[in-house]
Amino acid sequence: MNEFSFIDSIKPFQNLSCRVIKGIGDDAAVLELDAKRYQLLTTDMLVEGVHFLSNTPAKLVGHKALACNISDIAAMGGIPTFAVVSIGIPTGTGHIEFSHRVKGQENSMCPDYVSGIYKGIFACAKRFGVSIVGGDTVKADKLVINIALLGEVEKKNLVLRSGAKPGDHLFVSGPLGGTLKSGKHLNFTPRVKEARFLIEQFKPSAMMDISDGLAGDLGHILNASRVGAEIDEQRLPLNKGVSVDEALHGGEDFELLFSLSSPKSAKLVEYLRSHRCGHFVEIGRIIALPKKLYLCDGSGRRREIEPKGYTHF
Ligand code: ADP
Ligand code: MG
């Protein structure tokens, strides 16, 4: 069983009330709020040794902990609002010595490191208009940070993973791959501004953020929308020194992946051309059948690729 079959196995037991518009299966849950708006709710957890290392600067850890949640709210078309922050701090259990542990007290976390994490969280919160309204503090074997974030979206502006249609064009909001090596996975900018621009001007048919690699995450859109897709290899925007394979199956890009109907796609391409703006790059298209993922080379040949990205287990 991997991460995603585990999540699927939970789905039948969600006990959804009539106020739940979308439960498990998108970047955030969608809940009734009022006549005009939906409430969005998402959560992400960072674990030392998995998502960051013991020598990662504390401020960046804090930034990432909140920014990856903000990225999920952006992917729904929403605006982030309120967050709670829970932190598990190693005190007295230390079986490993970390550089940021206090000298002479190797079993406990340096308080400066934890407050550094909060500096990162607060700076990110201020930048994106998020209020930190609570949380929980516990003892843990490893440093763990979990943030749950609320957001809001006008009902007419909600974008799910399930709306992609055959003939739609696929875009990403920036270059992909190599983010672990470059450190971009720690200090990325969640694409709230870009997502709001897209929603207001072009209303994508489907959207998500890329957190587990393009191929795997596009696979989620294809599953949810019951369609297939072709990606044009030569159009993929790559970070410096990154191979196509790394861009497809790498990890935490935190760029937007979205689909637009053919007329809207033409409008966006024209907008990008006339404004000399490289913010969004067309990478392929949605197909009806087969419901598979293909990579096309320059001469029009296509080969099937696994819609696989990073999985935790
Ligand atoms: P993302 O990468 O956008 O944060 P995930 O791949 O983590 O999304 O999760 C996919 C979906 O599964 C989301 O709707 C998320 O809320 C849900 N999910 C993930 N883990 C669990 C869990 N342990 N229990 C219930 N739902 C979960
Ligand atoms: Mg996501």
Residues belonging to the chain: 313
What amino acid occupies position 225?
A: S
User: Under a CB-based contact definition with an 8 Å cutoff, are residues 76 and 67 in contact?
Assistant: no
Residue 72 vs residues 122, 159, 166, 311: alpha-carbon distances, Å: 18, 11, 25, 18
Q: What is the DSSP letter of 191?
A: -
pTM: 0.94
Which of these, 26, 23, 20, lies nearest to 12 by C-alpha position? Answer: 23
Pocket test for ligand 1, best of 1, 4, 7, 47 (most atoms within 8 A of CB): 7
User: pLDDT of the chain along its 313 residues, tens only?
Assistant: 888 899 999 999 999 999 999 999 999 999 999 999 999 999 999 999 999 998 899 999 999 999 999 999 999 999 999 999 999 998 754 433 344 555 565 556 677 899 999 999 999 999 999 999 999 999 999 999 999 999 999 999 999 999 999 999 999 999 999 999 999 999 999 999 999 999 999 999 999 999 999 999 999 999 999 999 999 999 999 999 999 999 999 889 999 999 999 999 999 999 999 998 878 999 999 999 999 999 999 898 999 999 877 666 6
* 138 CB near ligand 1 (under 6 Å): no
Evaluate: CB of 94 within 6 angstroms of ligand 1: no
Distances (CA, A) of 192 to 54, 120, 141, 182, 288: 29, 18, 34, 22, 30
Residue having the nearest C-alpha atom to atom 19 of ligand 1: 7
Which residues does 201 contact at the CB level (< 8 Å), separation at least 6?
A: 268, 271
Ligand nearest to the Cα of 309, by number? 1
Q: Nearest C-alpha to atom 3 of ligand 1 is from which residue?
A: 27
The CB of 7 under 6 Å from ligand 1? The reply is yes
Neighbour count for residue 297 (Cβ, 10 Å): 12
- d(CA 233, CA 211) in angstroms, rounded, equals 20
Encoded tokens for 116: 């550094």
